[in-house]
Protein backbone atom coordinates (compact mmCIF):
# COMPACT_ATOMS: atom_id res chain seq x y z
CA UNK A 1 0.00 0.00 0.00
CA UNK A 2 1.38 3.39 -0.95
CA UNK A 3 0.41 7.01 -0.40
CA UNK A 4 -2.08 7.03 -3.30
CA UNK A 5 -3.90 4.03 -1.81
CA UNK A 6 -4.07 5.84 1.52
CA UNK A 7 -5.51 8.95 -0.13
CA UNK A 8 -8.15 6.87 -1.94
CA UNK A 9 -9.07 5.12 1.32
CA UNK A 10 -9.36 8.46 3.10
CA UNK A 11 -11.97 9.60 0.56
CA UNK A 12 -13.86 6.29 0.79
CA UNK A 13 -13.86 6.36 4.61
CA UNK A 14 -15.68 9.68 4.55
CA UNK A 15 -18.19 8.54 1.92
CA UNK A 16 -17.99 5.07 0.38
CA UNK A 17 -20.41 6.18 -2.36
CA UNK A 18 -17.98 8.72 -3.82
CA UNK A 19 -17.74 8.10 -7.58
CA UNK A 20 -14.35 6.98 -8.88
CA UNK A 21 -14.23 10.06 -11.13
CA UNK A 22 -14.56 12.35 -8.11
CA UNK A 23 -11.95 10.37 -6.13
CA UNK A 24 -9.60 10.59 -9.13
CA UNK A 25 -10.03 14.35 -9.25
CA UNK A 26 -9.35 14.72 -5.51
CA UNK A 27 -6.21 12.55 -5.53
CA UNK A 28 -5.04 13.83 -8.92
CA UNK A 29 -4.97 10.60 -10.90
CA UNK A 30 -7.15 8.87 -13.50
CA UNK A 31 -10.48 7.18 -12.88
CA UNK A 32 -9.03 3.90 -14.19
CA UNK A 33 -6.21 4.03 -11.67
CA UNK A 34 -8.68 4.57 -8.83
CA UNK A 35 -10.91 1.73 -10.07
CA UNK A 36 -7.95 -0.68 -10.35
CA UNK A 37 -6.58 0.22 -6.93
CA UNK A 38 -9.97 -0.13 -5.20
CA UNK A 39 -10.49 -3.52 -6.87
CA UNK A 40 -7.02 -4.65 -5.76
CA UNK A 41 -7.61 -3.45 -2.19
CA UNK A 42 -10.90 -5.37 -2.17
CA UNK A 43 -9.26 -8.54 -3.48
CA UNK A 44 -6.36 -8.39 -1.02
CA UNK A 45 -8.56 -7.64 1.98
CA UNK A 46 -7.30 -4.11 2.63
CA UNK A 47 -10.92 -3.04 2.15
CA UNK A 48 -12.99 -5.48 4.17
CA UNK A 49 -16.41 -4.06 3.37
CA UNK A 50 -18.32 -0.99 2.40
CA UNK A 51 -20.88 0.01 5.01
CA UNK A 52 -23.69 2.43 5.64
CA UNK A 53 -23.69 4.91 8.51
CA UNK A 54 -27.13 6.07 9.56
CA UNK A 55 -28.64 8.71 11.73
CA UNK A 56 -31.60 6.70 12.93
CA UNK A 57 -32.28 8.36 16.24
CA UNK A 58 -31.26 5.10 17.88
CA UNK A 59 -29.09 4.81 20.95
CA UNK A 60 -25.45 4.24 20.06
CA UNK A 61 -23.08 2.88 22.65
CA UNK A 62 -19.76 1.17 23.25
CA UNK A 63 -19.73 -1.88 25.44
CA UNK A 64 -16.23 -2.64 26.69
CA UNK A 65 -15.85 -6.32 27.54
CA UNK A 66 -13.27 -8.11 29.68
CA UNK A 67 -12.61 -11.71 28.64
CA UNK A 68 -11.22 -14.44 30.91
CA UNK A 69 -7.47 -14.79 30.38
CA UNK A 70 -7.78 -18.50 29.49
CA UNK A 71 -10.24 -17.83 26.64
CA UNK A 72 -9.66 -17.22 22.92
CA UNK A 73 -10.70 -13.58 22.55
CA UNK A 74 -10.94 -13.88 18.76
CA UNK A 75 -13.60 -16.58 19.03
CA UNK A 76 -15.63 -14.58 21.56
CA UNK A 77 -15.39 -11.45 19.37
CA UNK A 78 -16.55 -13.43 16.33
CA UNK A 79 -19.67 -14.64 18.16
CA UNK A 80 -20.49 -11.13 19.35
CA UNK A 81 -20.09 -9.76 15.81
CA UNK A 82 -23.12 -11.84 14.81
CA UNK A 83 -25.46 -9.99 17.20
CA UNK A 84 -27.95 -7.89 15.24
CA UNK A 85 -27.37 -4.50 16.89
CA UNK A 86 -23.57 -4.72 16.75
CA UNK A 87 -21.97 -2.45 14.13
CA UNK A 88 -18.33 -3.16 14.96
CA UNK A 89 -16.32 -5.46 17.19
CA UNK A 90 -12.80 -4.37 18.05
CA UNK A 91 -10.20 -6.42 19.87
CA UNK A 92 -8.25 -3.85 21.86
CA UNK A 93 -5.38 -3.51 24.28
CA UNK A 94 -5.81 -2.12 27.78
CA UNK A 95 -8.05 -3.05 30.67
CA UNK A 96 -10.76 -4.47 28.42
CA UNK A 97 -10.29 -7.00 25.60
CA UNK A 98 -13.19 -6.34 23.24
CA UNK A 99 -15.23 -3.25 22.40
CA UNK A 100 -18.66 -3.55 20.81
CA UNK A 101 -20.03 -0.52 18.97
CA UNK A 102 -23.77 -0.90 18.92
CA UNK A 103 -26.79 0.81 17.42
CA UNK A 104 -29.89 -0.13 19.43
CA UNK A 105 -33.45 1.12 19.14
CA UNK A 106 -33.57 2.21 22.77
CA UNK A 107 -31.88 1.83 26.15
CA UNK A 108 -33.64 -1.50 26.67
CA UNK A 109 -31.82 -2.78 23.56
CA UNK A 110 -28.50 -1.59 25.00
CA UNK A 111 -29.27 -3.25 28.32
CA UNK A 112 -30.25 -6.49 26.56
CA UNK A 113 -26.86 -6.62 24.84
CA UNK A 114 -25.06 -5.96 28.12
CA UNK A 115 -27.01 -8.83 29.68
CA UNK A 116 -26.29 -11.06 26.69
CA UNK A 117 -22.57 -10.38 27.08
CA UNK A 118 -22.62 -10.92 30.84
CA UNK A 119 -24.43 -14.23 30.38
CA UNK A 120 -21.43 -15.62 28.47
CA UNK A 121 -19.20 -17.72 30.72
CA UNK A 122 -16.05 -16.25 29.13
CA UNK A 123 -16.92 -12.66 30.07
CA UNK A 124 -15.54 -11.31 33.35
CA UNK A 125 -16.59 -7.65 33.10
CA UNK A 126 -18.43 -5.04 31.06
CA UNK A 127 -18.34 -1.27 30.97
CA UNK A 128 -20.76 0.75 28.85
CA UNK A 129 -20.47 4.21 27.37
CA UNK A 130 -23.33 5.92 25.55
CA UNK A 131 -22.23 7.82 22.47
CA UNK A 132 -23.57 11.35 22.79
CA UNK A 133 -22.30 12.87 19.54
CA UNK A 134 -20.60 11.61 16.42
CA UNK A 135 -18.53 13.51 13.85
CA UNK A 136 -17.09 12.33 10.55
pLDDT digits (tens, 9 = 90+) for 82-109: 998 898 999 999 999 999 999 888 899 9
Contact 73, 65 (CB under 8 A): no
**Secondary structure class of 66 (helix, strand, coil):** strand
What pLDDT, on the 0 to 100 scale, is given for residue 105? 86
What pLDDT, on the 0 to 100 scale, is given for residue 52? 64
What pLDDT, on the 0 to 100 scale, is given for residue 135? 75
Q: Is the dihedral of CA 135, 51, 109, 90 positive or negative?
A: negative
What pLDDT, on the 0 to 100 scale, is given for residue 111? 95
Q: What is the DSSP letter of 18?
A: -
Q: Taking 90 as the threshold, does the pLDDT of residue 57 lie above it?
A: no
CA–CA distances in Å: residue 46 to residues 30, 41, 50, 75: 21, 5, 11, 22
> Bridge partners of 65?
98, 126
H helices within 1-136, ranges in order? 3-14, 20-27, 31-43, 73-81, 107-118
35-55 tens-digit pLDDT = 999 999 999 999 988 776 656
State pTM to two decimals: 0.65
What pLDDT, on the 0 to 100 scale, is given for residue 119? 97
Amino acid sequence: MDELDREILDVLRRDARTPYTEIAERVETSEGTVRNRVERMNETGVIERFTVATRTGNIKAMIEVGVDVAVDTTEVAARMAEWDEVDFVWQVSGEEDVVLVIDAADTRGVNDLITQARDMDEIVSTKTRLILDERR
